[in-house]
Amino acid sequence: MRRLARHFPAVVVTGARQTGKTTLLTRLFPDYNYVSLDLPAEAQLAEEDPQTFLIRHPAPLLVDEVQYAPKLFRHLKVEIDRNREAGGRYILTGSQKFALMREISDSLAGRCGVLELEALSINELGSAFAERESKDGIAEILVRGFMPQLWKDPELPPADFFRGYQATYLERDVRQILNVTSLRDFDRFMRAAAIRSGQLLNKTELGKEVGISHKTIDQWLSVLQATNQITLLEPYYQNIGKRLAKSPKLYFNDVGLLCFLLGLNKAVVSQNYFIGAIWETFVFGELRKFIGIESPEASLWFYRDQSREVDFVIERNGELTLAESKWKELPALRDVRQALATQPLLRNARLPVMVFCRTRQSHPIGPQAMAINSFRLREHL
């Protein structure tokens, strides 16, 4: 954030609700004027009279949930162009990624840096994670997820938090982006999508289960993506064109929200039918956060052909690392059979194949594979 604020007149931070955007930015820039467009009166002024809004709230300015006033962007462009060399005059946040990027490309292209804030990672939690996991176990971690408020207030029951979170999300974000006639239908859609986290996306099957059209499925999936609730992981092919034509895998971004939508608490989650997909969703989240923060030059994919599937393909510096996710403490060679068979087929795929699992101590699985403690996966990437 500080680096971008030195080089760009504006910086835009996207991310799901409750990931800590406002807390981060008000602490980084305590001397900035602050206004939230979650307040209807401020949003109305910014949309209907942007010039007066900017006079009332002069730079340096932090504007929260800026997507509620699209017309403000054109006036920000005018203000920025009066002094293009002054960095960090406007810090903008929003929880609706696609709407923000559209306005940026229309009005602020070349004038702003863009970052996406994920929920907390294990690395960020540090000793707090180790203490919680040691005290309450892995099941509690999965059900709690990684939203900052649930770690700031360790006594807050996850179900209470996510019940309110989902209600706010449906009322604020979904209603604004789509004219959804029944939020109950969208709730059913979210729960049906949760059942498919970690699976190949089949829009036809999903539409039939919820009782909505293929076009509506496309729209509603876009809403979940735009509001940073899900990520679609694309398949890896050495022929780049094929990557664009094949179905992606769907993952929820926060494993705690996933468990809530599946109706699971810590007493039952580890024995549930979905535990493999839940664990894979957790591992994917840690990989995604690692790449986004510490290795932005890397890319993350999955691999699938007629006879083989590999959960994750990490592409970095021209090399490929194959990785599997297993809800096991002691994985065996049979758990990496498909990955090992795939490795010779891919140019620049290196050994060992990694298995992200529950082992306490990372260790070899034969000569060509490695069991990795998923809570310390950064040490091996």
* CB environment 313-348: b (16+ within 10 A), e (fewer): bbbeeeebbbbbbbbeeebeeebbebbbebbeebee
pLDDT score for 279:
98
Do 2-116 and 295-380 have matching folds?
no
Task: Give the Cα separation of 72 and 50 in Å (integer).
Answer: 5
Query: Regarding predicted confidence, which is higher, 168 or 30?
Result: 30
* pTM summary value: 0.92
343, 322 Cβ separation under 8 angstroms:
yes
Residue count (the chain): 381
pLDDT tens, 241-288?
555 448 999 999 999 999 999 999 999 999 999 999 999 999 999 999
Could you give the CA distance from residue 167 to residue 178 in angstroms, rounded to a whole number? 16
The structural domains of the chain, with segments of one domain joined by +, span: 2-116, 122-284, 295-380
pLDDT of residue 174: 81
The model's confidence at residue 240, banded by pLDDT at 50, 70 and 90, is low
- Which of 4-8, 206-210, 304-308, 335-339 is predicted least confidently? 304-308
CATH fold group of domain 2-116: Rossmann fold (3.40.50)
Q: Is the pLDDT at 125 greater than 90, yes or no?
A: yes
The candidate with the shortest Cα–Cα distance to 92, out of 44, 46, 45, 48, is 46
Q: Does domain 295-380 have CATH number 3.40.1350?
A: yes
Q: How confident is the model at residue 177 (pLDDT cuts 50, 70, 90)?
A: confident
The mean pLDDT value for 94-103 works out to: 74
Segment 17-45, tens digit of pLDDT: 999 999 999 999 999 999 999 899 999 99
pLDDT of residue 378: 87
Give the tens place of pLDDT for each residue, 279-326: 999 999 999 999 988 888 999 999 998 888 999 999 998 899 999 999
